[in-house]
Amino acid sequence: MSSTLALAAAVTEKTSSPSAPAPVPRIPETLAETGIAESMVEQLILKILYYRNEVLGRDLATALGLKFSAVEGMIEFLKRQHLVQVKKSLGMGNISAVYALSDNGRTVAREYLEANQYCGRVPVPLEQYRNMVLAQKRPESWLTMEMLKEAFGHMVVTPEILTCIGPAVNAGKSFLIYGQPGNGKTFLAEALFKVVSQPIYIPSAIEAQGMIIQVFDPIFHHPVEQEDTGSLLALAKQPTFDQRWIRIHPPFITTGGELDMTLLDLAYNPVAKFYDAPLQMKANNGIYLIDDFGRQRSTPAEILNRWIIPMERGIDFLTFKNGSKVQVPFECFLIFSSNLKPHQLGDEAFLRRIQYKMLLKNPDEAEYCEIFKRFCEKNNLPFDEVLLDRFLQKHYRNTGKKRRRCHPRDILNHAIDLLRFERRPWKLTEEVLDHAFDSCFVNTEDEG
């Protein structure tokens, strides 16, 4: 099958509208349209039957992620080879027959399992995967200020912050958020998940150079529930897209200090003998946040050097156990969040590799008060502007203490804990706020 035909069979036409849904992977009508060698499908059928013993024809096709009509010919071939046998039939054709391995079939299946133990849906060819990732790439100017404001509506952010974030998100380029701890850098990055909300499709696994790479990861990939559960189509459980793919919410993957270089390349399972995709590949068409950047096991230089070509060209090169390399798309929005100052991460040439940078400053007094007010409202606490002004005068203006965006939340949580513990009236007082402040922060004065 030509690459042009394979891609045409895999993906429907994509519109350029910013709100357009993801292109739908078309259901293969034949094994040829899957783009996968028939020998691999044969191996999967025998391995599934080996593990499940007896399987209904319909359930066997479901396990493969294909229509029964697409695999029926292969099953008949395996029957003629005396590898598969029919144990019984429910009288509705081959789809309702119960299949099992013959003794010879079990021997062959064990040989296949020695090669690799992958026993899931039929993989998607790398070319089809690459085409789908690119088709799901957001068009230019997909993001509007209104969308951004809606996503950050639960936060107190200034127009300046939105103006910094917007172009970076819209372009999908790498983005560094830095500043003092406690100002909500991670919280700010996580709010972008509400912006990137259009469901996408990812394959259960892909095939490249005869190797199997598992892409779907239930830790990071969350399937979209069937929306039209009341329709006759849904009740009949008729798939509307290629079931080798899974419709998910765009991934949002976060790694912190545990990140090292091994997580950024193919992970080979020596027992199962197939590969697991690296984190940046699992984050394709989504967001990958590297939190606390600069404190990973690998140095910032090592991490960025690994991603020079991916960030510039949108492609990544992964390495198989035998040393051969495979080219895959790199289409995740890469965000770095750091408490360190930029010069502590690297020099100017080093930092130039990250396209966008934003210093998340300490909140001014108006922002602090608005955060405080919102948290009071969230917890049904009466907001007293005069009381808050006295509190700020005593603990911030007089002492020169720096404000952080997390302070109102932390202080009010401590105040709430005190009110509940001592069964006090549900309102703030100067005494309660003083106690909450003292219990939140370390006293730097010498003891005694």
How far is 36 from 30, CA to CA, in rounded Å?
11
Read off the pLDDT band of 68 (50, 70, 90).
Answer: very high
**Does the structure show a pLDDT above 60 at 211?**
yes
**Tokens linked to 69:** 């009509």
The whole-number average pLDDT for the span 405-431 is 97
Q: Assign a CATH topology to domain 170-359.
A: Rossmann fold (3.40.50)
Sorted by where each begins, the domain ranges of the chain are 3-120, 170-359, 365-440
* Environment class of 261 (CB within 10 Å of its CB; exposed 0-12, middle 13-18, buried 19+): middle
The chain-wide mean pLDDT, for the chain, equals 90
The whole-number average pLDDT for the span 175-196 is 89
**Does the structure show a pLDDT above 80 at 123?**
yes
Residue 356 C-alpha from the chain's centroid: 21
pLDDT at position 136: 94
pTM score: 0.86
For residue 165, give the nearest of 156, 183, 152 by alpha carbon. Answer: 152
pLDDT at position 23: 85
Cα→Cα distances 107→102, 112, 253, Å: 9, 9, 41
How far is 302 from 410, CA to CA, in rounded Å?
36
For residue 440, give the nearest of 393, 391, 398, 397 by alpha carbon. Answer: 391
pLDDT at position 444: 60
**Does the structure show a pLDDT above 70 at 5?**
no
pLDDT at position 19: 53
Cα→Cα distances 250→109, 199, 244, Å: 36, 6, 17
pLDDT at position 3: 38
User: pLDDT digits over 73-82, tens only?
Assistant: 999 999 999 9
Say if domain 3-120 classifies as CATH 3.40.50.11540.
Answer: no
